[in-house]
Amino acid sequence: MKVVYDPDKDILQIAFVSTVIEETTQISPGLVLDYDEDGQVIGLEIRRASIKTDSPYAISFNIGQANLNKPVTNGKELASGKE
């Protein structure tokens, strides 16, 4: 996994795997998902990251249990039909 912050563009990119991006979908204002040729999510882009994060320069990496009890916003799949 690779995390890059571009301060000139104020974009934070998280690449889950190193492969070619075939498609992107904006799922909400300033939040973009990247997909591979099989339609699998391979990355995430946060635009205006300095406003949407505590600090795009500081990343905390912790190993522990995932929070699987988060509420689902509307229970619908993404408009593109991809998860």
The pLDDT tens digits for 8-38 are 999 999 999 999 999 999 999 999 999 999 9
H or E segment at 50? helix 49-52
Query: Pick the residue with more confidence: 47 or 59?
Result: 47
pLDDT for residue 64: 83
The C-alpha atoms of residue 67 and residue 34 are separated, in whole angstroms, by: 23
pLDDT for residue 43: 97
Give 58's pLDDT tier (boundaries 50, 70, 90): confident
Q: pLDDT at residue 39 above 90?
A: yes
